[in-house]
Amino acid sequence: MPKIKPSKGVPYARILGVGGYRPNRVVPNEVILEKIDSSDEWIRSRSGIETRHWANAEETVAAMSVEASGKAIADAGISAEQIGAVIVSTVTHFKQTPAVATEIADKLGTARAAAFDISAGCAGFGYGLTLAKGMIAEGSAEYVLVIGVERLSDLTDLEDRATAFLFGDGAGAVVVGPSTEPGIGPTVWGSEGDKSETIKQTVPWTDYREGEVERFPAITQEGQAVFRWAVFEMAKVAKEALDAAGLSPDELDVFIPHQANERIIDSMVKTLKLPESVTVARDVRTTGNTSAASIPLAMERLLATGEAKSGDTALVIGFGAGLVYAATVVTLP
């Protein structure tokens, strides 16, 4: 039996460029308060959120992704034709098929890149990053575009006091490519399906289609249960990712957790015992929870403002519906 020829991959990969897109409309808490019995002070104290961005009709999942991806490709210093695969993490592309990744790949001008969507909620960016790293090591692509994008305003129940203020829209993208040294550490990821009811879509699409419910499906969650899980369990996962990368908290430059809630972020910083020298992403204040887009958007903002710099070592962790999670250490582009 003939032997299969090995793949021509490279042992290491890193993030080479990052880009983001935030919709033009900025929505303050006052707008949210038109539909729920709450206050600006309560929203800020419970979540840290002051504003969020909501997309208009033209700012589709594909359109926002193309904008963010163009910036990431330019930042990486490559051309779209060099992209060998496009991975899109989203839960708000409302066409079951085809994957929105194929439309994005075409609009960017890639040379028939492999393209597919993944559904991993707020951990989707970490999942995509891990897949990209594997593709480069395996040799099936030299450069991989990883996109996290959401229009969560489409799945927000504005009358739900527990979630109406949380969600925003946007797209973040990174280009992952070959490296002469490790730029993306081992991934600690997993799922806890026994807790899937804590964050979910209210009803299946079929219930709405068949008239069993009158309200369009929305995202709902059990806030306290999610908070406890994120604070206690995800801090452990973050520590495992640091250990897997062979680093201590003192050796970290930047911490970029999923931008779900500032109270969760503060609790994780405390549990991990991160020193004050570590820059912590707090993009949630003005962007809200953008699910799969939150980590690359926060990464892009930290680099753009100079709060983080190229070459910094960053711990990233995403967690959410499923319940799913993914954490790894990366070198910033």
Catalytic annotation, residues: 122, 258, 289
Residue 194: how many other CB atoms lie within 10 Å: 8
In sequence order, which residues have a C-beta less than 8 Å from that of residue 218 and are 6 or more positions away? 155, 156, 157, 160, 163, 201, 202
Burial of 124-144, coded b for 16+ CB within 10 Å and e otherwise, reads bbbbbbbbbbebbbeeebbbb
Rounded distance between C-alpha atoms, residue 105 and residue 94, angstroms = 18
Q: What is the largest CA-CA distance in the chain?
A: 71
CB burial class (10 A; 0-12, 13-18, 19+) of residue 181? exposed
Rounded distance between C-alpha atoms, residue 103 and residue 115, angstroms = 9
Sign of CA dihedral 184, 118, 232, 288: positive
